[in-house]
Amino acid sequence: MRRVAIVTGGAGGIGQGIVHALARAGFVVGVNHFNTADAAQRTVDEVSQLGGDAWAVQADVRSAADIQRMIADAVDRYGHLDVFVNNAGVQTWKPLLEVTEDEWDFVLDTNLKGTFLCTQAAARVMKDRGGSIVNIGSGCNKIGFPTLVAYTASKGGIEMLTKVSAIELGPHKIRVNCVAPGAVEIERTKREVEDYAGTWGRVTPLRRIGYPDDIGRAVAFFASDDSAFITGQTIWVDGGLFSQPPWSQK
């Protein structure tokens, strides 16, 4: 029986790395996107070229109806769902005093509400046979980042949502864990500073930045039977960045 996974925001960036890692691990992967159908199809084609199997599925993670339709699509195709990865996320870079209500709602609805709605919908399908839900966190899970107030609040919420979900869903043999990346180079992050790799590599103990495949391998571990007795945990895939005192990063 094929193992089936869905990755939200799987069309690019870290999500694409997760899709590739799960496909290499033998999963057939649903590549979720909101409004990037072409990018999602390119990711599906890349998986196919690597000998894997994937399909593209559109859904807005802020919408319970969209999420239910996305999960129903997986069940209609394959009869079950084994793994769900909550990766979709957005950011607003603004000081606290300048963030608008609409900007706050957009970030919290996408990142935190979306993770809640997807976790709930996926667990309802998994509860009779078990499964694994993996949330994608951030250094913001435990450190406050100026000008990222909404994003930091959403990721802190995901940290605790992971723990509570693990407790409540454990009796259904559903594991819930979180992968918290450090400085990972994708197209979006490369625009944040002029020399992203140099800037963050210097202050990361392993002296390099991360890449989407680093995150993908950690997700694949949580999706596998190798983590069968692990739930409610956050693993920091950050090269040691957030294990050191802040002043050592200057």
Just list the catalytic residues.
Answer: 151
Give residue 107's identity as a one-letter amino acid code.
V
Closest to 108 in 3D by CA, of 91, 95, 96, 133: 91
Of how many residues is the chain composed?
Answer: 250
Beta-carbon-side half-sphere exposure of residue 225 (alpha carbons within 13 Å): 2
Burial pattern 108-125, b for ≥16 Cβ within 10 A else e, equals bbbbbbbbbbbbebbbeb
- Region for 86 from its dihedrals, namely left if φ exceeds 0, alpha if ψ lies in -120 to 50, beta otherwise: beta
Cα-Cα end-to-end distance for the chain: 51
Give the single-character DSSP code of 45. Answer: H
**Alpha carbon distance 215, 199 (integer Å):** 20
**Where are the extended beta strands (E) located within the chain?**
3-7, 27-33, 53-58, 83-86, 131-136, 174-181, 234-237
Rounded to the nearest 10 degrees, the angle between the axes of helix 101-108 and helix 149-169 is 30
